[in-house]
Chain A
Amino acid sequence: GAGVSQSPSNKVTEKGKDVELRCDPISGHTALYWYRQRLGQGLEFLIYFQGNSAPDKSGLPSDRFSAERTGESVSTLTIQRTQQEDSAVYLCASSLDRIYEQYFGPGTRLTVT
């Protein structure tokens, strides 16, 4: 079946602009996760959804970052007033009911100029 998809695959934006990143999880997966990966580094947890609610937003780095999920499916990560330090790959993952079986999308590579 189809895996996790993310769009766009690449995004170049000017400092100060808002961006929206989209994640389509595997159909039927109730849990959805967003991570950030800076160049040459590991994954940094941002936010987790169970269904449409987000019980854990502890990883969002600032109030410029927000995320929502609708219909227990698609999720959007929004970054307002982008800064250069926001440049990274943003990865989305979904899982059915076991945290250790997370399936990742290919990521969105964000570059803020």
Chain B
Amino acid sequence: QKEVEQDPGPLSVPEGAIVSLNCTYSNSAFQYFMWYRQYSRKGPELLMYTYSSGNKEDGRFTAQVDKSSKYISLFIRDSQPSDSATYLCAMSNNNAGNMLTFGGGTRLMVKP
């Protein structure tokens, strides 16, 4: 079993829909939780990060962490065709000097 599980999709939604992307994990030591967006043939770019449990909002994006359930989510409001990409969750148990453990990514397609 992988440390971080993520549904690969593809997830297809109409423009304007609310999108929910999720990851589950098994390592209770993870403290930092990140979401990256990766367009085709590009490197991942950091969207949001959260520390421990709770919510964080940035524009149309909201990240949620539920450490008791080992479950994290990324919500995208008013989704746009430009949001079409692969979304990768990543986690770490250390503030510095350690690797990120990534999920396999969910491919999102927002149709106009």
Name A103's closest neighbour in chain B (CB-CB): B46
Chain B residues whose CB sits within 8 angstroms of the CB of A59 once the complex forms? 99
Name A45's closest neighbour in chain B (CB-CB): B99
User: Does B34 have its Cβ within 8 Å of any Cβ on chain A?
Assistant: yes
Q: List 21 A-B contacts (CB under 8 A).
A: A31-B96, A33-B100, A40-B8, A42-B88, A42-B105, A43-B44, A45-B99, A45-B100, A56-B99, A91-B43, A91-B44, A97-B96, A99-B100, A100-B49, A101-B49, A102-B100, A104-B36, A104-B44, A105-B43, A106-B42, A109-B41
Interchain CA distance A4-B46 in the complex, whole Å: 14
User: Does A41 have its Cβ within 8 Å of any Cβ on chain B?
Assistant: yes
Contact flags A26-49 to B (C-beta < 8 A → 1, else 0): 000001010100001111110010
Interchain CA distance A102-B43 in the complex, whole Å: 11
User: Does B98 have its Cβ within 8 Å of any Cβ on chain A?
Assistant: yes
Number of A-B residue pairs at CB separation under 8 A: 73
User: Does A25 have its Cβ within 8 Å of any Cβ on chain B?
Assistant: no
Name A4's closest neighbour in chain B (CB-CB): B43
Other A-B pairs, 11, CB within 8 Å; known A45-B99, A99-B32, A100-B32: A40-B8, A41-B105, A42-B103, A44-B102, A55-B97, A98-B96, A99-B92, A99-B97, A101-B46, A103-B46, A104-B36
Chain A residues whose CB sits within 8 angstroms of the CB of B92 once the complex forms? 99-100
Interface residue ranges, A against B (CB under 8 Å)? 4, 31, 33, 35, 40-45, 48, 50, 55-56, 58-59, 91, 93, 97-107, 109
Going nearest first, the 9 A-B pairs with the smallest beta carbon separation are A104-B43, A45-B99, A42-B104, A42-B102, A43-B102, A100-B49, A100-B32, A104-B44, A106-B43
